[in-house]
Amino acid sequence: MKLLLTSGGVTNDSIRAKLEELLGKPIAQSRALLIPTAQWGQPACSPQAMYDSIAGRSDGSVGLSGLGWQSVGVLELTALPTIAEERWMPWVHDADVLLVDGGEAVYLAHWMRRSGLADLLPELRDTVWVGVSAGSMVMAPRIGRHFTDWQPDGPDETLGVVDFAIFPHLDYPGWSENTLEAARRWAPTLGVPSYAIDEQTAIAVVDGTVEVVSEGHWEQYDADGKPQGP
């Protein structure tokens, strides 16, 4: 699977160009499935937020599903355990890209495992995963107590598809808990390498090679939480 892990989605030309590079064709020729499930685990999300996600709206801008895909469908992970695998698995295999919206990453990891989607990921070698916020964080080994909103006292482990963690929405206006200082306090608590990324930054991962694509601000940390760059 090819990963494009973002904080705010496809927010600039550099991220869009990287997405089309990973797809190997234009967005307009690509079939997408949107996974909004993580929103149900985030107390700050609402039914209106879920609708805006599916409708392709995000904070007044074009959301993941509004990028101009050939087709877009919705894959709700909480429903998958109630239907046969032979029904929904072909939908996933036929998609060029999975668009995974934000919310709560541990909740998303729970439903990825329970639905069977997590087990399917190794088969999706040519599929692109575009994550927003929790949709990106879910690929990390853990997210840190800073981001456990579904079960605040529960585990913070996620899927571990990549070996680094992500602090999203760096210095987002009005979000006092997402400052660079907060990211630097968060990073040493994890025991794994990590990145803090803003809305104009994405991390592409293909065959283990990591590339930061940014028109904004980001910072990298080692496993001890020490800043490494850029």
Q: Are 15 and 202 in contact (CB under 8 A)?
A: yes
Q: CA–CA separation, 112 vs 81, rounded Å?
A: 10
pLDDT > 70 fraction of the chain, expressed in percent and rounded: 97
Predicted local confidence at residue 79, as pLDDT: 97
Predicted local confidence at residue 187, as pLDDT: 98
Residues 58-104: tens digit of each pLDDT: 554 557 999 999 999 999 999 999 999 999 999 999 999 999 999 99
Q: Which residues of the chain have pLDDT under 50?
A: 60
pTM of the model: 0.95
Predicted local confidence at residue 3, as pLDDT: 98
Residue with tokens 């869009």: 16
Q: Report the Cα 130 to chain-centroid distance in Å.
A: 6
Strand bridging mode 194-197 / 165-167: parallel
Question: What is the topology classification, in CATH, of domain 6-229?
Answer: Rossmann fold (3.40.50)
